[in-house]
Amino acid sequence: MNTTRKPALLSTKAVVGAIIVALCKTTTLAMETPTNTTTPVCDNDEELFQLRLITGENSWSGAPVSHRVITESTGDLHDECIGCRHDIPGADIQLCLPKNQCHTVLVGRLIGRWNSCFNGGVEELQVIWAGETIRSNNAYLFERVDFGEGCQIDSCDPDNELEFEFFLDRRQDSSYPNPFAWNLAEVATDESFLQGQAPYNESSFIYEKACVPRSSCLEFYMGYPSNTTSGFYDPSPYSIRLDGVIYDEHELRFGTDLFSGPDKLDQTVNLGDCSVETLCNATTEDLFRMEFTTEALVECFASANNDYNYSSSISSSDMRFWLQDIDEEDFASSYVWSADYEDFEVDRKYAFMSCIPNDRCAQFFFATDNQVASYSLYQNGVELTQRSIQTDSFEGLTLTNAGVCAPAPTLSLTLERVLVASVTVLSLLNMFW
């Protein structure tokens, strides 16, 4: 089955103030590698763009990958392929593009992340512009790379707005209910910033973005109709980001009659600048928030080959953490745990927030020997600074208590500086009274 390419002009459209860059244009799954055989000769006002999707031996050779190359300002769709297979040696997409504009390449890997370092074999992405490699990743899942001389201007107002992004790579399956829809809204006002739905019974690579107020507390909903009864299972990978911070990234794992538990038809992710009063029932709940940044350099400590010295991702099994009530033993009952993520990109910030009962004791465990540059935990906006290294049955883990068991509130550094400054000013005033 051959892949149909569609170099074309497409117009972006506004949906409640959000720009939907990807219009969900689809092609059929490809059995042939979409590789250019000759390098094009570019005009003086153009540069050569290359997207290399390298496939080596001992990997998931030919794993379906979607890509799209666009120029948002003009609405140009330069190249697109949905669910394309890239057998050894892979793909080398080459295009001549205007050098003075800002272009974007979007990439999604349909069957999840392959860590070339950890698993062995090569599955690597390289983005090359004007002969310079501007992005490489040997464990990619979703990528967005902007390039060109016209990329100096932010798409959102940097002083007042943040950029929200949603990726979804979805295969054609007639068993999927219709529709699969999503909505991003402000929690306090229910104002919608973007909404949409996937095309029915078509393979689609979806990318949406929206500029949202920097002070927003947001709720992102995605799912199938609640009255769905037909049997299906949807493992499509997705990623939800705000200002480059990943709040959720995994497979949907939506379906009915699931072996692992009850039916799951939808999911809600909270993100942004939320308070316990805005997001939770402040009478009965606390707001727990986690933030961490992964290390920039992670060695290939378990590499099955000699192709790489460093990895572009960290396995979730090497970043063990979870938050659950003290009397719960099943990880499935955790508010969050590391397996909720499709591994972790290096040098990337992650965040999570959830309302938890304020009359129950919760515990957050993090591997003591972890691969994060830093991590912070907050309850109702106050940082939880307790770090108790465990030596019992939880040896190798560091504990922070939350919920009703959280230590007495301590001042955050920012608040402490404000109060110290205030006391200093009052002392100076008293000298003149």
Could you give the CA distance from residue 10 to residue 72 in angstroms, rounded to a whole number? Answer: 9
Residue 62 has pLDDT above 80, yes or no: no
Tell me: the pLDDT tens digits for 355-408?
999 999 999 999 999 999 999 999 999 999 999 999 988 899 999 999 999 987
CA pair distance 30, 47, nearest whole angstrom: 28
Tokens 């308070």, residue located: 275
pLDDT at 21: 32
User: Is 338 a residue whose pLDDT tops 80?
Assistant: yes
Query: Which of 50-59, 83-92, 293-302, 369-378: highest mean pLDDT?
Result: 369-378
CB 100 within 8 A of CB 152: no
Tell which wins on pLDDT, 294 or 329.
294
Residue 5's pLDDT band, with cuts at 50, 70 and 90, is: very low
Q: Are 249 and 341 in contact (CB under 8 A)?
A: yes
pLDDT higher than threshold 60 for residue 344: yes
Q: Where are the beta strands (DSSP E) in 33-180?
A: 46-55, 65-71, 76-84, 90-98, 103-109, 123-129, 132-137, 142-147, 161-170
Within 13 Å, how many C-alpha atoms sit on residue 208's CB side?
A: 29
**What pLDDT digit, counting tens, does each position of 252-269 carry?**
999 997 776 789 999 999
Average of per-residue pLDDT across 80-87: 88
Neighbours of 372 (CB within 10 A): 17
pLDDT category at 244 given cuts 50, 70, 90 is very high
